[in-house]
Amino acid sequence: MKKAGIIRCQLTEDKCPGTNDFRVAANGQKAFESIGNCEVIGFISCGGCPGTKVGNRVQLLEAKGAEVIAISSCITQGSPFKETCHNWDKMKIEIENHINENTILLDYTH
């Protein structure tokens, strides 16, 4: 079983406890389907707009054992706000600049 770290939108913390993110990771569903069941070892925010802390947070999750980094659907799919993160393009570049080459990157969760 792979270990996963999930990065979520800081603005959604008051509206979403991440229940669906944990469920789909544990059951190997949605974005995790090709990987299988994953143990979530970290669930952390992007650091707030404009997401410039996300690179360091990826490295923190990897240091704690994450083999998979999943960007929560609140950032990339617009759930629950029906609007994607305006900073997602910049955040993705920041993540790609900091992520280990062996780490799997998922750009949504559910």
6-42 residue pLDDT tens: 999 998 888 889 999 999 999 999 999 999 999 999 9
pTM of the complete model: 0.94
Question: Under DSSP, is residue 42 helix (H, G, I), strand (E, B) or coil?
Answer: strand
pLDDT, tens digit, for every residue of 72-92?
A: 999 998 877 778 899 999 999
HSE-up (13 A, CA, CB side) for residue 8: 22
Identify the CATH assignment for 2-106 out of 3.30.160, 3.40.50, 1.10.3470, 3.30.1490. 3.40.50
* Residue-range domain boundaries for the chain: 2-106
Q: What is the dihedral of CA 18, 31, 65, 97, to 10 degrees?
A: -100
